[in-house]
Structures are given as structure tokens and as C-alpha cells.
Homo-oligomer: A and B are copies of this chain.
Amino acid sequence: MEEKEISKAVISRLPRYYRYLGELTNAGVERISSNDLSRKMRVTASQIRQDLNNFGGFGQQGYGYNVKYLRTEIGKILGLNQSHSMIIIGMGNLGQALANYASFEKNGFLVKGLFDVNPRLDGREVRGIPIRMLDELEAFLKENPIEIAALTIPKTEVLRVSEILVKCGIKAIWNFAHTDLNLPEDVIVESVHLSDSLMRLSYNITSYRKEHGES
């Protein structure tokens, strides 16, 4: 019951390790030392070893880490060894982009349903999955065990939709709306705020200019 708490900083680095280990696997690299990996990833070797040792000793003294093994283990930590059923709510451009993004399936994220409010989209299919109307959502969730709901809807719709989701016992929300969700704490929320990201870029451009003289 009492697991040692893993810090957010560590968790957010795991997918990046996973990505690099995937590339190394594809490149046919069999083993790698924390030092070599640190150069590739531009982080310290110390950090890599510390991060990994939060979860267990995956390496071997004098040898390093077995790339395939380490990748699999990190995959397990991330829960990628299990499949995750997902629906997408909001079939605007972004929702369609997610629905079409086949690579998710490779990591076990299975799109089981698509929803929108626009009657013109009703019945249209994306990758073989029909778009349903939002008022069918509740019934759909009762019949289909869904873990994750991706929200690609305007922020004005968020409250209404998230109430349905919570009521139907959804476990996790992948939120793309430009607002924070305030939900019961047993619902896990991961937000992608694109405009926040663009503003950070803008900040960095602006501050770089200040340091190096206008242009």
C-alpha cells in the first residue's frame, strides 16, 4: 500500500527515456551505459541512474543497461503493457487529428468511440469508427468500459461534458480545452494547453531578443 512516492519530475522524463530507447532498439543497439545515454539525451548520467533506480536496478555493473529490457520495463512502469480504451469528444480538427493518429494504437491506446454535437457529423466515420452524437454518450459509456476520454471541445462545453464523464465513472481525462478541470480527485487529468506552449515559445523569443539586442 505504501509505495515510495515518485516525483512528477521523474515521471515526466520517463516517456522521453522510452522514446530514446525505442530509437536505440531500432538502430540495433543492444546495450548502453548511463554515460552514453546521457550524451545522447543531453542530461546527466547521474540523473539517468537516479531516475531508473526509483523503480529498480535495471542495469548491471560493468555492462550498462540492456536496451530492449530497459525499454520494456519502462513501458511497464508507464502502463504501456496494458491496453487503454479511449473515446474522443469533439470532432473538430484536433479531435480528428487524434482519431487519425494511428501511432497511439501501437502503444495500446484503443479509440473506441467518437463524439460530437454537430448533427452533420452524425454517422460519419473516422478510421472505421462512427461519430456519435453527444447525447448518446451516457448510454455508450454504460455499455462500453472506457478508461480515457480525450476532450477536444471548446472550454464552454467542458463543464457539461465532464459532469457526464464523472457521473459515468470515467477514470481519466486527456484535456485539450483551454481551461483547467476541477474534478473529484479520483479522476486523473492530464492537460495539453497548446496556447500555453505557444506563449512559452513567445516568451523565449522575446527574452532572447532582449539579451542579444533587438533585431
A78's contact among B3, B101, B178, B203, by CB below 8 Å, is which? Answer: B203
Nearest chain B CB to A98's CB is how many angstroms away?
A: 8
- Complex interface: chain B residues within 8 A of A94 (CB): 94, 97, 101
B147 and A195: CB pair below 8 A?
no
Of A12-20, A30-38, A65-73, which stretch is located at the interface? A12-20
Let me know if A125 is at the binding interface, CB within 8 A: no
Enumerate chain A interface residues (CB-CB to B < 8 A): 1, 3, 6, 11-12, 14-16, 18-19, 77-80, 82, 84, 92-94, 96-98, 100-101, 103-104, 107, 109, 147-148, 171-172, 174, 178-180, 186, 188, 190, 192-208, 210-212
- Complex interface: chain B residues within 8 A of A92 (CB): 97, 100
A84 and B205: CB pair below 8 A?
yes
A202 and B97: CB pair below 8 A?
no
- Closest residue of B by beta carbon distance from A191: B197
- Complex interface: chain B residues within 8 A of A6 (CB): 207
B211 and A188: CB pair below 8 A?
no
- Closest residue of B by beta carbon distance from A188: B204
- Closest residue of B by beta carbon distance from A126: B93
Nearest chain B CB to A161's CB is how many angstroms away?
A: 17
